Amino acid sequence: MKRIITILVALSAVLSMNAQGRHEIEVLMGGPVSGIFFNEGSSYAKYDYYYSSGNTLKDLYEDVKYRDSFIGMGLVYSYEVKSWLKLGIDATASIEEVTIRKGLAYKEDANNLYSQGVSHFTVMPMARIRYKDGYKAEAYGRIAAGMEFITNWGDEEQKQFAWEVVPFGLCFGKKDLHFIFEMGLGTAYMARFGISYEF
């Protein structure tokens, strides 16, 4: 319910503006590159643990999480406020597969790894800025900030601040239908691609 209210508030804020621009819907796929912004180990480190005698007590006794896979779907609505500026809302839903290496305080054997599914839902008010509009192509950037709702399957939902900066995105196509590719930094994704429709 909170999620719906958040979306509605953000949407109404965008639509209440007086500008006479066009609406745009984007459908995107993507996710973050494993572990870079989450201080998690690499998949190699997960297995090094068993063959190294250089482990510290922290290595031995604390749980460590490793991200194995992450795939997300994004739905972005925006409204053209100025020829160079679009405001809107970016909603991303994603599923993450995480391997957790349990510390020895719980179990001491070579099989103390288990996998867990984690779902993420991110809602962020967003601004998209056009850098250059060329023949059939547009270069743009994007900034967004909002909330991320995280659910470990079977556990209680957690919330955290979410942010995203896209320094470079490319949009190309004919008339109202475009293909999109963008590279970003933040909590939701690092690379996304998809299609957009303007009306």
Partner 1 sequence: MKRIIILIAAVAAMVSCDKFEDTFGPSTYESSTPLELYMLSIADDGVSVVLSELETALQTDPDGVIGKYFYTNNGLPLTADDAVWTVNREGSLLGTTIKKVTGKNAWKINYNGDFSVEGASFPTAFEITATLADSEIGSHMNWSVEFRGTRKEEDGYTCSFSNAEVPVDYKIIENTKSWGAYGYLLMTVFKDSKQIDRVLMELRGLRSSASITHIK
Instruction: Give the residues lining the site for partner 1 (CB under 8 A).
Output: 49-50, 52-62, 104-105, 108-110
Output 51 or 153, the one with its CB closest to partner 1. 51
b vs e for 106-123, b when ≥16 Cβ sit within 10 Å of the residue's Cβ? eeeeeeeeeeeebebbbb
For the chain, the first-to-last Cα distance in angstroms comes to: 29
Q: How far is CA 160 from CA 63, 112, 150, 187, in A?
A: 21, 28, 8, 10
Q: Which tokens belong to 99?
A: 């391997």
CA distance 94 to 188: 9
Q: How far is the CB of 50 from partner 1 (least distance, A)?
A: 7
User: Please, which residue, 109 or 156, has the CB nearer to partner 1?
Assistant: 109
Output 108 or 157, the one with its CB closest to partner 1: 108
Q: Which two tokens stand for residue 111?
A: 């099989």
Distance (Å, whole) CA 12 – CA 9:
5
Q: Among residues 75, 28, 22, which one has the least CA distance to residue 181?
A: 28
Task: Provide the minimum distance between the beta carbon of 36 and partner 1 in the complex, in angstroms, as a whole number.
Answer: 22
Kindly tell me which of 47 and 193 has the beta carbon lying closer to partner 1.
Answer: 47
Q: Which CB, 113 or 191, lies closer to partner 1?
A: 113
